[in-house]
Structure 1
Amino acid sequence: MSRHHVLVVEDDAILGGALTQRLKLEDFEVTWAKDCDQALIAMRRRRPDFVLSDIVLPDGSGEDLYRRAQPWLGDTPILFATAFGEIDQAVRLVKAGADDYLTKPYDVDDVIERIRGRLRRPAAEVEENGVVHFALSPATERIAEQLRRVSNTDLPVLITGETGTGKEVAARYLHATSRRAKQPFVAVNCGAIPHDLLESQFFGHERGAFTGASQSHVGFFEEAGDGTLFLDEVGELDARLQIALLRVLEDGRFRPVGSRTDRSFQGRIIAATNADLDTMRIEKTFREDLYYRLSVIEISLPPLRHRTAEIEPLADRLLRQAAHRHGMDVRWISPDAFTALLHHDWPGNVRELRNRLERATVLARGNMLAPEDIFPELALAAPEPDTLADARRQAESERIDRALIESDGKVGEAARRLGISRTTLWKRRASNKGDQ
């Protein structure tokens, strides 16, 4: 079994060296970056399993790093370390999606436990992005067959579908079943890259190409090499990048910023979007020639509400993953809960299903999930409380549940939203549920 890869971002030589040495002793594979630029280069080369980052770095803040790292982070957990004076920034980062923060000086043993706890994942979760678990119903089996048939061509593929339907999973399946499977798969969220960094991020730049370019930078096209470049939310590309992307598709050439020579791109481009590119083409907000180039092969993923045969196997698998990850003894979904799952519209698709099961697993009172565990809004239909004390308990319980939903089941974040400790949250919730 391969070791987990931890990226440490720390400019303090003593602390960074000590963390690196300790993590290696704990059998982690470690990369140590001393600033934002080094961290981004490391992420582009290989997506880490966990990131531990200082919040104040020589060339930027934690917020700068988190914003710039979005195309490579994916679902990689990131933990920020902060001095007392930067706690406000740390809280903003957690609200923006970072996993947690800790204050300096911190206990290294505690950090190791946090990393181990967050990385407890079953093998099935890794397989989700590969070949084994993509097709779970006749609808997705047909899509899988289409993907396999085009996997060894060089034609661009456009994957469409609502947010959360699994477009990146389909793209990874296509890559994994192709002759490029051993080459890089580089996933880019086109809507998450700052406007002023677009050309540099896609095409790279030479040292001195512009103010602040203290070293050369490898862009997405060069990083993908002979592999696959996956452009998620391609409809959000600005006009300049649309023209540049069209050129790469037409003649396989690109030019880094500040360079005098072109470089070749021999990889494959897979694009994805939840927007209606055909309408955008008609409205002149997306280039017509680029649309036709990208959509040579177009594959549409149906929403989860049209794939009801997948809900039960998906829910079972996501429950096992969540229980393993959080160390919870939750094993089953009750028949009534399955009925509730089948009758829900799933506006957030697979992503919503995953988030609801994550939250339910953390807060479950037994080893079987009931409908109200997965859909806490059902509790709003409960009878009116008889006494003032009952009303207080019900209101407090509903506020805790809402905070946990807003935090995607992250107890630490929910506790911070409520202004209480994690321990107090658990005690209050257990007390209120027990009294009802």
Structure 2
Amino acid sequence: MSKVEASLKPQILLVDDDESLLRLMAIRLEGEGYSVQSAEGGKDALRLMNTQNFDVVLSDLRMPGLDGLSLFEEIMSLGKDLPVILMTAHGTIQDAVEATQRGVFGFLTKPIDHTELRDLLAKAVSQSQGSQTGDWREQIITRSMQMEQLLDQAHRVAQRDVSVLVSGASGTGKELLANAIHKASKRASKPFVAINCGALPENLLESELFGHAKGAFTGAVNEHQGLFREADGGTLFLDEIGDMPTPLQVKLLRALQEQVIRPVGSSKQIPVDVRIISATHKNLTTEMSEGNFREDLYYRLNVVNLTLPTLRERSEDIPLLARYLLKKSAERHEVRVSRFSDDAMQLLTTELWPGNVRQLVNVVEQCVALTQTSVIAVHLVEQALSTSEQKWPTLTEARDAFEQSYLLKLLKMTDGNVTRAAEIAGRNRTDLHKLMKKHDLHSTDFKHE
């Protein structure tokens, strides 16, 4: 086997309580082209892993304090999907069997056969770097350990054809993560199709998802195949799944269980092969308890749950993201802007970012649009931050605001008479009560004495 190319520099964490052996192995592995960090025990190893990323852990089995197997268990409990190779001078078949049953990548007996070690390391690095390199995650800019752990999980999930629910606050990048999972999966060559379930009324959403037959309703002059068929063989991303109307939840559940769809106005059953990734900023457990979300659909969608941190929770990424977004924005607008001033960057890193990455994108875009110099000054950041809260609402936010305003006027007109209000709105009393509950409106507040 040839030496590992220096440009790759796989990161090896070498753990052993024998200081002389540690030095000898580090020299040998660095000679092979690896970058090696050494730790003289399990606790030192865990401390290093809190601040750095590694491709492989190569550890002695028998060590005082935290031994090799205990170190492996600690690494797994941290959510790190790292290949761990254990070495021992007291190797037995029983030790090797126990280690591999627990998920240890490999087991070596001292004195170490260097050819065996080299081959095992090459396999371990190949497995590890499969989840850390390539273009599947190129749009996700991070140095956060929390995000790296999440991306490790995302890559593992991508290899299993299961449904994924991505949770997180608005603006954290749920669609970006869903797209990355698709790119890392076996479905990468097929379409990735996304839809916001809260952006369309029920009848249009059903038609968009499942398609419709020609003449199914007024205006249906042609057959429409729908997003399930458009995403066939690939991934369908259902954003804001918590806003999906209950009747449609039943139809979605049936489509997932039977892997067939029926277009609106058609009696045909059409088979589909689609992986579902859904996302929500809502607490679906609360939605289920209030009867707004079906429990059976929840468990069908939530086979694996990935939760994105807020930007504030990954604050070490703020300078990295700001520079990346600045570079992209400057290229797009063809302006010569090179960096933020020191005090401008300081302000960015101390901001709370309630709008998360989406808000940061807006702030950087505004700064690039307004700057007249190559360095963005702090007053431009201050100005952008003060206006970023007054952003144009999303379609869901605008719809919710209209609903609330409409209901307020309706209940005032009818003095809180829900039956009359429902007749004017063209809805039944149950639907109107649900909308009133959603906007925390009570009919008694509108009744005259």
TM-score normalized by structure 2? 0.55
Matched, 1:237 2:237: no
Give the residue type in structure 2 aligned to 1:165. T
Equivalent position to 1:365, from 347, 363, 372: 372
Equivalent position to 1:134, from 140, 148, 158: 140
| Residue ranges of structure 1 left out of the alignment (5+ in a row) | 1-126, 379-400, 409-436
Equivalent position to 2:359, from 340, 352, 357: 352
- Contact 1:129/1:172 (<8 A) preserved: no
Structure 1 residues 277, 363: CA separation in 2 closer, same or farther (over 3 Å shift)? same
Query: SS of 1:186's equivalent?
Result: strand
Paired with 2:387 and 2:152, the residues of 1 have a C-alpha distance of 41
In structure 1, the residue matched to 2:266 is 259
Paired with 2:182 and 2:326, the residues of 1 have a C-alpha distance of 27
> CA shift at 1:272, angstroms?
0.3
Paired with 2:370 and 2:140, the residues of 1 have a C-alpha distance of 28
Paired with 1:406 and 1:133, the residues of 2 have a C-alpha distance of 24
Paired with 1:352 and 1:286, the residues of 2 have a C-alpha distance of 29
In structure 2, the residue matched to 1:9 is none
Matched, 1:269 2:258: no
Query: SS of 2:276's equivalent?
Result: strand
> CA shift at 1:152, angstroms?
2.1
Which shows bigger deviation, 351-360 or 317-326? 317-326
Paired with 2:310 and 2:382, the residues of 1 have a C-alpha distance of 20
Query: SS of 1:302's equivalent?
Result: coil
1:329-376 CA distances to partner (integer Å, 9 max, x unpaired)?
Answer: 111011211111111000000000000000001111311112221121
Equivalent position to 1:228, from 212, 227, 235: 235
In structure 1, the residue matched to 2:181 is 174
Paired with 2:369 and 2:197, the residues of 1 have a C-alpha distance of 33
Paired with 1:129 and 1:194, the residues of 2 have a C-alpha distance of 36
Paired with 1:128 and 1:334, the residues of 2 have a C-alpha distance of 33
Query: SS of 1:257's equivalent?
Result: coil
Query: SS of 1:353's equivalent?
Result: helix
Give the residue type in structure 2 aligned to 1:171. A
Equivalent position to 1:297, from 295, 304, 307: 304
In structure 1, the residue matched to 2:324 is 317
Moved over 6 A (4+): none
Paired with 2:183 and 2:388, the residues of 1 have a C-alpha distance of 38
1:70-125 CA distances to partner (integer Å, 9 max, x unpaired)?
Answer: xxxxxxxxxxxxxxxxxxxxxxxxxxxxxxxxxxxxxxxxxxxxxxxxxxxxxxxx
Equivalent position to 1:189, from 196, 201, 215: 196
Paired with 2:236 and 2:368, the residues of 1 have a C-alpha distance of 35
> CA shift at 1:236, angstroms?
0.5
- Contact 1:356/1:375 (<8 A) preserved: no
> CA shift at 1:130, angstroms?
4.3
Query: SS of 2:137's equivalent?
Result: coil
Equivalent position to 1:287, from 284, 294, 303: 294
> CA shift at 1:132, angstroms?
1.8
Paired with 2:331 and 2:289, the residues of 1 have a C-alpha distance of 48
1:262-300 CA distances to partner (integer Å, 9 max, x unpaired)?
Answer: 111211000001111111011111111111111110000
Structure 1 residues 128, 273: CA separation in 2 closer, same or farther (over 3 Å shift)? farther
> CA shift at 1:133, angstroms?
3.8
Map residues 282-431 of structure 1 onto 2, 5 A cutoff.
Answer: 282-376=289-383
Paired with 1:129 and 1:214, the residues of 2 have a C-alpha distance of 41
Give the residue type in structure 1 aligned to 2:157. V
Give the residue type in structure 2 aligned to 1:141. E
Paired with 1:178 and 1:335, the residues of 2 have a C-alpha distance of 41
Structure 1 residues 190, 220: CA separation in 2 closer, same or farther (over 3 Å shift)? same
Paired with 1:263 and 1:134, the residues of 2 have a C-alpha distance of 36
1:18-77 CA distances to partner (integer Å, 9 max, x unpaired)?
Answer: xxxxxxxxxxxxxxxxxxxxxxxxxxxxxxxxxxxxxxxxxxxxxxxxxxxxxxxxxxxx
> CA shift at 1:211, angstroms?
2.0
Paired with 1:270 and 1:403, the residues of 2 have a C-alpha distance of 30
- Contact 1:203/1:221 (<8 A) preserved: yes
Query: SS of 1:307's equivalent?
Result: helix
Which shows bigger deviation, 237-246 or 256-265? 256-265
Give the residue type in structure 1 aligned to 2:257. E
- Contact 2:179/2:192 (<8 A) preserved: yes
- Contact 2:363/2:388 (<8 A) preserved: no
Give the residue type in structure 2 aligned to 1:219. G
In structure 1, the residue matched to 2:224 is 217
TM-score normalized by structure 1? 0.57
Paired with 1:305 and 1:216, the residues of 2 have a C-alpha distance of 47
- Contact 2:366/2:384 (<8 A) preserved: no
Paired with 1:130 and 1:318, the residues of 2 have a C-alpha distance of 19
Query: SS of 2:309's equivalent?
Result: coil
Give the residue type in structure 2 aligned to 1:305. R
Matched, 1:198 2:205: yes
- Contact 2:158/2:182 (<8 A) preserved: yes
Query: SS of 1:330's equivalent?
Result: coil
- Contact 2:193/2:237 (<8 A) preserved: yes
Matched pairs, number: 260
Cα RMSD after superposing both structures? 2.3
Paired with 2:374 and 2:286, the residues of 1 have a C-alpha distance of 48
- Contact 2:367/2:384 (<8 A) preserved: no
- Contact 1:135/1:144 (<8 A) preserved: no
| Residue ranges of structure 2 left out of the alignment (5+ in a row) | 1-132, 394-449
